[in-house]
Copies of this chain bind each other. A is one copy, B any other.
Amino acid sequence: MITGKNYIGNVLSSIGKITFKTFNPKSNTENDIVYTEASQIEIDKAVSLATEAYKSFKNVSGAKKSEFLNEIANEIEVLGDDLIKTFCSETGLPEGRALGERGRTTFQLRSFANLVKEGSWVEATIDTAQPDRQPIPKVDIRKMMIPIGPVVVFGASNFPLAYSTAGGDTAAALAAGCPVIVKSHPMHAGTGELVASAIIKAALKTGMPNGVFSNLNSSGIDVGVKLVQHPQVKAVGFTGSIRGGRALFDMAAQRAEPIPVFAEMGSVNPVVILPNAAKNKGEFWAKTYAGSITLGSGQFCTNPGLILGMKGDDLSNFIQVLSEEIIKVEPSCMLHPNIIGAYENNKAKMQSQKGLQTVVAFDKDVSTNFARQIITTVEGATFLKNTSLHQEVFGPFSMVVQCEDNEQLEQIISNLEGQLTGTILTENDEIGSFTKVVAALQNRVGRIIYNGVPTGVEVCPAMVHGGPYPASTDSRFTAVGINSIKRWVRPFSFQSWPNELLPQELRNENPLGISRVIDGKTTTNPL
């Protein structure tokens, strides 16, 4: 069923010369199928099909787009066990995770289907004419969101389904009316092709234009660079490392016509354990965080890599229980030899930093590609001085910073780079004495959590997944939840445009029955 070819629009194609295979980290062996990287000709063809498809797809009704998105979800489910097995063989992740992530993926697709079927998301706004206004008449102006153009999506290595081929970025862009070209992640090219086949089937079934979706294999950075630099590409979605995301952002900014890049990148997701929480609930939080830090081998963008507390017996206790608990966790497989390699590397680099102490490190033998968890600690003053200690170690690693006082804690937080999340662990109203700490944390993050863990990103309208740089390249948008559609649209005004020539969303009759703002009032009434 997997061919190793690219989908250039609806057609399977493999005219390139560069080939590669995926890898099963659990068995530590290469998988069989040979994938062919997309050639320049195929890249150009995919973009030109997308550009042509955009002309009609941007006008496809919400109802039809909704059918398309729902059908993608159905077709993904139809892939059945093949998809789950391929997912597992390319990631080392357990079947339960594959099933859960598939559920998240289809849920996202169906959420966007509902959003565009209902239709009010376009923010239709009508200001009626006032021909008699003095000193000059007021013209009729009507505005709505329209799709921005062909979007390139770079999938995440750590979410082969939910943030990859038919993941959040793709679902949001298709919902918006933008054709999508996926730069397939080389680590899960088979999972990618299967999902791509589901999208293509859905596109054919629901009558979408050829080129509304393409899936390009790539073994390195080359295909991605060519896509981002292509003049007909109008926006980019990326989930991955800071280095990768920043490189794409720079490329996009340097184009003759710069284009927006929404890159969701690294984060250490600081957790502040306030004194009463450490004192009264230290053991509970230590147990909870032993789980959060090792969840999925620590391969979540919201993994808690940094814990900040006030130096003293209670924090020492917390660190001890955390260490005892985390050492009990059975190590698990990371996604790829490259990822475990980077983990070991970054861990060693961290451990070589002056003043960093390793409190506990899993040291029993483990299978190849399995990640061994580690807890480290450092003094607040040392952490403040050395920004190398602020960097993310992607994997089951966490660092506890022992702060001298409130002021140092606040200073440390203020000096952190932007983060996806921040968490406050607290008890018994003490938070009132830490308003500056909480304010500083809010200023560095996109989401703040009270007495919980950052792992687990609910897909819902109120979710913000993103944050000040480098959590993401543009904190004004979220990558998760239905509002992530706003990354791929622009507002457009029609002035004095005849009613019968307007899009349905802006016509007097309000044929779609959507919610609109007319002369400043929100209503579903016709004009």
Contacts and interface: CB of A to CB of B under 8 A. Distances in A.
Interface in A471-527: 473-478, 483, 486-487, 489-498, 501, 515, 517, 520, 522
Number of copies: 2
Contacts of A139: 452, 456, 458
A39 to B, nearest CB: 27
A260 interface: yes
B464 A478 contact: no
A250 interface: yes
Contact of A493 (B257, B451, B464): B464
A143 B461 contact: yes
Contacts of A515: 522
Contact of A141 (B146, B431, B463, B474): B463
Given A148-B475, A478-B491, A127 B462 contact: yes
14 contacts: A125-B461, A125-B483, A127-B463, A142-B462, A253-B253, A257-B417, A257-B470, A260-B474, A431-B501, A446-B490, A447-B492, A464-B493, A477-B491, A522-B522
A456 B493 CA distance: 14
B253 A494 contact: no
Given A125-B461, A463-B493, 12 more contacts: A127-B462, A139-B452, A143-B462, A249-B253, A249-B258, A259-B469, A450-B494, A450-B501, A464-B493, A476-B490, A515-B522, A522-B522
A335 B55 CA distance: 42
B446 A491 contact: yes
A449 interface: yes
A476 B469 contact: no
A55 B495 contact: no
Q: Which 6 A-B pairs have the closest CB atoms?
A: A253-B253, A447-B493, A464-B493, A143-B462, A141-B462, A127-B460
Interface residues of A, number: 67
Contacts of A491: 446, 464, 466, 476-478, 483
A158 B254 CA distance: 28
A313 B450 CA distance: 74
Interface in A428-452: 431, 439, 442, 446-452
A524 to B, nearest CB: 10
Contacts of A498: 450
Interface string A259-283: 1100000000000000000000000
B458 A494 contact: no
Interface string A343-369: 000000000000000000000000000
Interface in A218-258: 249-250, 253-254, 257-258
Contact of A126 (B125, B127, B462, B477): B462
A52 to B, nearest CB: 12
Contacts of A141: 447, 458, 460, 462-463
Interface in A317-376: none
Contacts of A253: 249-250, 253-254, 258
A41 interface: no
A97 interface: no
A136 interface: yes
A85 interface: no
A495 B449 contact: yes
A522 to B, nearest CB: 7
Contacts of A125: 461-462, 483
Between A136, A474, A492, A498, the greatest number of chain B beta carbons within 10 A of the residue's beta carbon is seen for A492
Contacts of A493: 446-448, 462-464
A257 B469 contact: yes
A508 to B, nearest CB: 14
A291 interface: no
B257 A448 contact: no
Contact of A490 (B254, B449, B475, B496): B475
Contact of A497 (B260, B448, B458, B495): B448
